[in-house]
Structure 1
Amino acid sequence: MEPIDPLALKEATESVRREVGQLLKSDLLKVYASLSAPESEAEESRDQSEVSRARSIQATHGPR
């Protein structure tokens, strides 16, 4: 078995993260906008599925 190159693994991981980020950019921005809206607007636009999705994304990709 060949040893794993940690730098290559990190580069591959970052490449996948960037690609997924680009593919989901518009969805992520919509969720971000709905979660960062002023409280009066946020109550109208925020529903449980959006909150769950944002938490899922953060759990998968970690905080920025």
Structure 2
Amino acid sequence: AGYSCGFFWEFWNYWAYTKWIYTVPVPPMARIFEMPILGFLGFGPFGLETFAFWTLVWGKRK
């Protein structure tokens, strides 16, 4: 889920009039829309972290 959300976030960012432009102090690399691959790989752990936080907050209420 993290990668699919990241894909759509970057898709919408790419076409936006005001958008993020990522500058990374490493040699040029492949990008997914505007984001370098290394940054895009962080969406997976971010999705897991978001799920863990959601479980922490809402998981024990049932």
Q: Same fold by TM (over 0.5)?
A: no
Structure that is richer in strand per residue: 2
Structure that is richer in helix per residue: 1
